[in-house]
Chains A and B, each alone.
Chain A
C-alpha cells in the first residue's frame, strides 16, 4: 500500500488555490494530501483578470460550474483582445480566440485572402473572422456544437475579479479536503544532504513538514528563489516594461466581450470589463516615464470615474530557469513574470499544474527525470509566449515616443526574427504541437500591426481568382448575417450569470432555513 504524498502549498493567491483545486480534485486523497499556507495580511497580486480559453478547460476538468463561477467573480465573457495604436497610431485589430476563415485543400485561409487582397478584392481580414466580428458588435453566444458550422470556429475566455476567483477556488478546494493554515512563513528548513525542503516554520512557531512543496509565494519566490537560489533569466532587454499602475473605474458604455490594450507613450493601458466595474492599468517602463506621470496618464485616460487610488506594482520580465528544483515546484509569479499583454499569467499557472500532475512524485520515491521533463515543457511554454509578446513590441513603425523607437530597433531572439522574416516573405506561419498561440494569433498580430507579406503560398494560385473572390464575399456576408442574430454580450450575461442574482447555492441555503 502506497502512502499519500504530503503536499504543502505556500501562498493562497490565484496560483495557490488553483493548484489546491487541481490536486484535490484530480488526485485521490490516498495519493496526495494538500495543505495550503496563506496569510490574510499579505494581499494577493491578483494578476490575470483577463484569461485565455484554456481557463474553461481547467474549470471543466476540476468540475467547476461555469455560471456559478461567473456569478461569484463578477465575470464577463471574452472573445479576444483589441489592440489599439499598436504598430502604428490609429491601428485597431482584435486578436481573436478563433480562426479567420476555414482552411481549404490543406492551405490556411489567409493565403487565399492575401491573394484576393493583392488583387484588390478583399475586405480587411477581420471581416472573415466570426469571433472578431462578434466582438466588434459587443455580441456573445456559445460556439456551436456543430463542428462544420462557421459559428463553431471560436472559443472564449473570461474576465473576472481575480481575488474573487481565488476566494471561490478556496471554498471549492476546502470542500474537497484541502487544509488551510493561516500564517506567514519565517523559515524554510532544508535537508543538509540532498538539499530538499523539509519544513516551513511559521511566525507562530508552528512547523509544517511536507514531502513536496509548491511555491506560490508570488514575486518573493520564498522557497524556489530565496531558499533554493534558482537562477533568474532576465528578459527585460526585450520586454522593457517594469511597472504597472492598476485602478478600477465605474462601468460605462456597452459591455464589451473583449479586453482592450492601448499602446501609450511609455507602455500600454489595459481595459477589462467586469460586471460591476472596469479594471484598468498602465503597464510602463520606468526608463521612459516617471511614475507619477504614468499614474496621471492612466487616470486621464479612463472612460469613467476611478473607484480607488492607482496601486503600483513593480516587476521584471523573466523567469527562474528551473521552476522545479529538488522537491519544490514554483507556480505563477514565484516562477516568473510576463506582462499581462496577452493574458498569459493564469494560463501559465494552469499549464504548470497540468504538466505537474502526471509527473508528481510518489511518496518516498522521486526521480530527477520527472523534474527535468516538467522543466523542459515549461521552457517551451515560456519561450513561445515570450517570443509572441516581444513580437507586439518589435513589430511596428511608431516613432512618436522613445519606447517605440527603442523596441523597433532592438535585436530580438533569432527564433522570432526568423518567424517574422518568413511571414514577410511568403505569409508562412509555422505550427507546433505544444505551447500557446497558434496560427490565428500570430496572423492577427502580424497583419494588425502592419506587416503585409510580400507574397502568398503558391497553392493559393490553384483556383480562378473570380471564384476565390466570390467565395470570400459569401463567407463575409454569411458571418455578418449570423452576427446580427447573436445576443448582445450584456444581455447574455444578465440571463446566464448575473452576479446580482442569488446563486443556486444561496437559494438552497435560503430554502433550508425556511
Chain B
C-alpha cells in the first residue's frame, strides 16, 4: 500500500497540458511529480477551440490569468452559438450558455413562457434569456459585484488551438510539471497495468499512473485488456471534418455561427486575427474537393490557405480508465465540434479524475466509479449534440432527412418526449447543460410543447403577466449594461482589438 507519487502524461496538445497542469495544481503540494511526454502535435494552423463557460472556472482553478489567455490565444469571448438554416422556415436559433438556476426555485420560468405563449404571448424565448439576449447584441456578461444569479450568464472563448495548447504548456512547465518530447512511444504492459513507456530514443519512463492524452488513437489505453471504442457513428450523419481560415470579421460577434448546408454544416469561429472555419459533412454525398470548392460560398468569405480534411468518427472508450491508465481528451471521447464542448470534456474528465484520484498506487478501484461518471458526462453531451440533428427541419436534403429519421438513444428520446409534452427537461446526473439550455435548444429547433406543467395554472393571471413582463425588462436592462465584445477586448489588448 503506497500513495501515487508520479504521473506520466503521454500525449499532446491542450488535453495533455491541461491534465498535467490541473493534476500538478491539485496534488503538487502533496508531493506529486507530473511529467509530460509530449508527442508531435496533431493540431493544424486553422484549428480552433470554442469553449463553454466552464473554461473560466478551469482557469481560475489553475491560477491562469484570463487576460494572458486572451492576449496569447487570439481569443474572442463567446456567449453562445447561432444556428442558421437548420430549419427551412424558422429564424436562426441563438443558443447561449445559461447558468444552472438556483436550486429550490419554484416552477421554472420556461413554464411561464409556455403558458403565456399558449395565451398569445408573441415574444421569443431568447428575450427572457440573459445569455441569448447578450449574444444577439454582441455583449459579454461580465459579472458585476454581487450578481443576481437569476440574471447572470456565462461566457467562454474562441481560442486559436495551437496558441492555447502552447500557453497551457508554458503554464504547466512554469508550475513544476516536467516535460520531454518523443516522436513515438510504446507501452510496456503487464496484466492490466502499464509498467512503463519506452520512447523512440530508447528511454524508459515509469510512473504510478499514466494519462493517455495521445488523441483518438489512444496509444496507451488501447494496449490494455478490455479497451474498446463505442462508436456513435450510427447517430451522427457526418464522417468528415474540415478546418480552414478566413479573414477576420470587422465587427466581432459574441457567438459562433453554425450554418447548416446540404451535406453538413459550416461553423465560423471569430478570432481577432482571422476567422476559423470548421465544417463537417458526409463524404458519400459530396467529395472532399467539391466541398472545399463550395466552402467560400457557404462560409460567405474567402478561404485562405489550405483546407485541412480529416476523418470524423464520434464515439467514446467504453472504459476510459483501465488499470493505472486514464484516457483524457480525444483518447477518451471524440465529440462533434458542436456546442463548444471539446475542451470542456477534457476538463470534466480531469476534474472527475481529481475527485476520484487513486488513493493507492497498486489497486485503483476508483476506476469503476470514474468510468460510470464520465460515461454519463459524455453521453449527456452527445445527446445534446444529437438533438440539433434530430430536430432539423430541412426536408429536401438526404443528409438532413437521414439525421432526422435516425433512431436516437433512449436517454434523448425521453428528453424529447417530456419536453414535447410538458416543457419539462428530465436531467440526468452529470449534465453539462442545464434545463434552460435544453429548452432553448428544443424550442429554437421548433419543438414546442403541447402542454405545460399544470402547477403553473395555480399562478393567478395578473401575477403571471407581471412576472413575464418583469423578467423581460430585467433581462433587457441587465444586457444593456454589459460591455460589448470590442470593449472587453480593447480593455485587455488595447484599442486595436
Contacts and interface: CB of A to CB of B under 8 A. Distances in A.
A505 interface: no
A43 interface: no
B149 to A, nearest CB: 13
B72 interface: no
Contacts of B359: 425-428, 454-458
B427 A455 contact: no
Contacts of B354: 106, 459
A370 interface: yes
Contact of A27 (B366, B428, B457): B457
Given A433-B428, A458-B4, A373 B357 contact: no
A203 interface: no
Given A358-B424, A426-B360, A458 B27 contact: yes
Given A428-B366, A433-B427, A458 B357 contact: yes
Contacts of A377: 426
B421 A418 contact: no
B368 A369 contact: no
B29 interface: yes
Nearest to B459: A28
B363 interface: yes
Nearest to B429: A433
B451 A362 contact: yes
Contacts of A462: 26-27, 29-30
B455 A461 contact: no
Interface string B410-443: 0000100110011010111110000000000000
A26 B456 CA distance: 9
A422 B356 CA distance: 10
A266 interface: no
Contacts of A478: none
B363 A425 contact: yes
Interface in B6-31: 26-27, 29-31
B41 interface: no
**Which of B358, B414, B428, B457 is packed against the most chain A CB atoms within 10 Å?**
B457
Nearest to A372: B414
A454 B453 contact: no
B366 A455 contact: no
A367 interface: yes
A373 B359 CA distance: 38
A432 B366 CA distance: 16
A106 to B, nearest CB: 7
Interface string A431-460: 011100000000000000000001111110
A32 interface: yes
Nearest to B104: A57
B280 to A, nearest CB: 31
Nearest to A456: B359
A367 B414 CA distance: 12
Nearest to A421: B365
Contact of A357 (B26, B363, B414, B454): B454
B421 A367 contact: yes
A28 B463 CA distance: 15
A360 to B, nearest CB: 6
Contacts of B421: 367, 369-370
B2 to A, nearest CB: 10
A421 B363 CA distance: 12
A26 B454 CA distance: 9
Contacts of B366: 422, 425-426, 428
B183 interface: no
A433 B421 CA distance: 23
B454 A31 contact: yes
Contacts of A357: 453-455
Contact of B365 (A373, A422, A461): A422
A204 interface: no
A362 B356 CA distance: 45
Interface string A410-433: 000000001001100111101011
Nearest to A360: B454
Nearest to B355: A106
B458 A373 contact: no
A179 interface: no
B455 A27 contact: yes
B418 A369 contact: yes
A75 to B, nearest CB: 24
B437 to A, nearest CB: 16
B100 to A, nearest CB: 11
Contacts of B363: 425
A422 B454 CA distance: 42
Contacts of A301: none
A30 B357 contact: no
Contacts of B31: 461
B454 A27 contact: yes
B307 to A, nearest CB: 43
A388 B454 CA distance: 33
Nearest to A359: B422
A193 interface: no
A428 B30 contact: no
Contacts of A376: 414, 426
A430 B369 contact: yes
A463 interface: yes
A428 B455 contact: no
Interface string A389-421: 000000000000000000000000000001001
B325 to A, nearest CB: 18
Contacts of A425: 359-360, 363, 365-366
A253 B429 CA distance: 45
Contact of A418 (B369, B414, B458): B369
Nearest to B107: A358
Contacts of A369: 414, 417-418, 421
Contacts of B27: 458-459, 461-462
A55 B368 CA distance: 35
B89 interface: no
B119 to A, nearest CB: 12
B148 to A, nearest CB: 16
B495 interface: no
A373 B426 contact: yes
A324 B357 CA distance: 41
Contacts of B355: 106, 457
A454 B358 CA distance: 13
B365 A458 contact: no
Contacts of B451: 362, 365
Contacts of A455: 1, 3, 359-360
B418 A373 contact: yes
B30 A458 contact: yes
Contacts of A461: 3, 27, 29-31
B455 to A, nearest CB: 6
Interface string B193-208: 0000000000000000
A454 B359 CA distance: 9
A26 B422 CA distance: 17
A373 B424 CA distance: 11
Nearest to A380: B429
Contacts of A26: 455, 458
A434 B3 CA distance: 33
Contacts of A365: 451
Given A359-B424, A426-B366, 5 more contacts: A26-B458, A106-B354, A357-B453, A362-B454, A426-B360
10 contacts: A31-B454, A106-B355, A370-B418, A377-B426, A425-B360, A426-B360, A433-B428, A455-B3, A456-B359, A458-B3
List 3 A-B pairs, minimum CB-CB distance, nearest first: A426-B359, A461-B30, A455-B359
Interface of A: 25-28, 30-32, 106, 357-360, 362, 365, 367, 369-370, 372-373, 376-377, 418, 421-422, 425-428, 430, 432-434, 454-459, 461-463
